[in-house]
Amino acid sequence: MTYLQGADFASLASSLDQARLLVVGDAMLDRFVAGTVERISPEAPIPILRVERRAEMPGGAGNVVANLLALGARVAFVAVVGDDEAGRVLAGFPDERLERALVVEPGRPTTVKTRFVAGTQQLLRIDEETTTAISPASEDAVLRAVENNLKQAGAVILSDYGKGVLTPRVCQGIIKLARAAKVPVLVDPKGADYTRYDGATAVTPNRRELEQATGRVARHDDEVEAAARSLIAKHHFDALIATRSEQGLSVVRATDAQHIPARAREIFDVSGAGDTVMATLAAAVATGASLTDAAALANAAGGVAVAKPGTATVSRDELVHALELHDETKFLARDGAAGRVETWRRRGLKVAFTNGCFDILHPGHVHLLRQARATADKLIVGLNSDASVKRLKGPARPVNDERARAQVLASLADVDAVVVFEEDTPLQLLDALHPDVLVKGADYTIEQVVGADLVQSYGGKVVLAELVPDQSTTKTIARMAKK
């Protein structure tokens, strides 16, 4: 599992309303005709759908835009539509955070996908579309629109559904403009030839698309890395982000890779989840997040999306809520923890702090943490780094590295955040957090507790927790050695 120390994902998700994105791609209109089926037609062995409701919404690259808007981002959308009813419908969806630059190409139909649904069962889909490349005049218009909107964008999304908008000339023109402006370009690719995407910041194929583009098997981590690096070298990408369904996401660069596991949850419908992942990834990058942290956030958003029926968007509040319930958000750097404490305080919550090595978790630890959590609404645990444990306990310690120790602590319901610190004592961390309550074991006196005077100086409280007799990591190791 990738240890994403230092990223406060709930805070990152909360900041997505500051993102400004430019989306270029294939606009579609999704139509839904829904009702019930109670009998089979006497004319042919087909169900008769009694229509009860109809709905229309943007699809294709428009669904990426819809996801960005749900996250609170501001969006400029550049696409090509026909001079027809569907094109006019796409131009009419209101949103004050959306600026459209829809190029109308006479004689070209707007892509429409009509789905007939009974209950949750899709009976039939009808596609009205063309996949021929847009005209040179439309290419010119698209590039002009991109140039006009690029300076306000924190990132560009190329959403390629293979309907003819993202021609090689359009893709290369956008990538060159964005590179010159130092704006990252993220591509949701289509097809096996990635030449048109040469020089993009990152591409986001799924596992099947990665195998198709490279002719390699990409099921295991090392296979994904090898396939990804072949594309990175060939097309000069900064990175490749592979979406791997139940295996999560992989962020691969020329010299390193991070594999982010999927979030376990019930899968209801995968429709549109890729658009949710791309929107969240790009929005996070647009706010200045690293690709790895942005991918981890996108992975969380995808987990929310697949638990919802239909081509669903994920709102910023839904994402923040999902993150607050997941242990990964408990791993914080010092600055992230300070921000989290400030957020809790604005909500009127009291914060407790305790610290230690927590090398081999035993009943004494659990009892301490339970008492500490009982003193406040939230509990932050300061965890000694591997280097500081070695200095304090000797070269044979820790038994478990800081990643493993942090994961075990984060899995406990009583623990709300875990912060690894490099110093021998938590004094600097306490100075950054200013907890309301400092908790240590009763084998200390208050005068011996590091940071007690600091906490008391601003009105905080120091609590000495009751100990469980004969429980310590040192004694646990001694018993193991004896046996």
Q: Is 266 annotated as a binding residue?
A: no
Q: What is the rounded CA–CA span in Å between residue 359 and residue 19?
A: 41
Do 418 and 381 touch, CB atoms closer than 8 A? yes
Long-range contacts of 215-224 (CB under 8 A, 24+ apart): 218/242, 221/250, 221/257, 221/259, 224/250, 224/252, 224/257, 224/259
Helix (H) or strand (E) holding 147: helix 136-150
Tokens standing for residue 124: 């039939």
Do 75 and 99 touch, CB atoms closer than 8 A? yes
Q: Is 207 annotated as a binding residue?
A: yes
Q: Is 223 annotated as a binding residue?
A: no
> What is the gyration radius of the CA atoms in the chain, in angstroms?
27
Q: Is 219 annotated as a binding residue?
A: no
Q: Which residues contact 158 (CB under 8 A, 6 or more apart)?
A: 24, 25, 166, 171, 174, 185, 186, 187, 188, 197, 200
- Tokens 């020329």 belong to residue: 254
Q: What is the rounded CA–CA span in Å between residue 153 and residue 142?
A: 16
Q: What is the rounded CA–CA span in Å between residue 220 and residue 185?
A: 27
Q: What is the rounded CA–CA span in Å between residue 98 and residue 416?
A: 37
End-to-end CA, the chain = 32
Tokens standing for residue 130: 């063309």
Q: Which one of the listed residues 275, 293, 359, 436 is annotated catalytic? A: 275
What are the two backbone dihedrals, phi and then psi, of residue 371, each rounded to the nearest 5 degrees? -65, -40
CA nearest neighbour of 167 among 212, 103, 210: 103
Q: How far is CA 413 from the centre of its chain?
A: 23
Question: What DSSP letter does each residue of 273-297 carry, written as one string?
Answer: HHHHHHHHHHHHHHTT--HHHHHHH
Residue type, 441: G
Do 150 and 78 touch, CB atoms closer than 8 A? no
Question: Is the Cα torsion angle 19, 24, 29, 34 positive or negative in sign?
Answer: negative
Q: How far is CA 142 from the centre of its chain?
A: 29
Kind of pairing between the strands at 378-384 and 417-421: parallel
CA nearest neighbour of 339 among 354, 329, 326, 325: 329
Active site residue 275: yes
Detail the residues annotated as belonging to a binding site for ATP.
Answer: 206-209
Detail the residues annotated as belonging to a binding site.
Answer: 206-209
Catalytic residues: 275
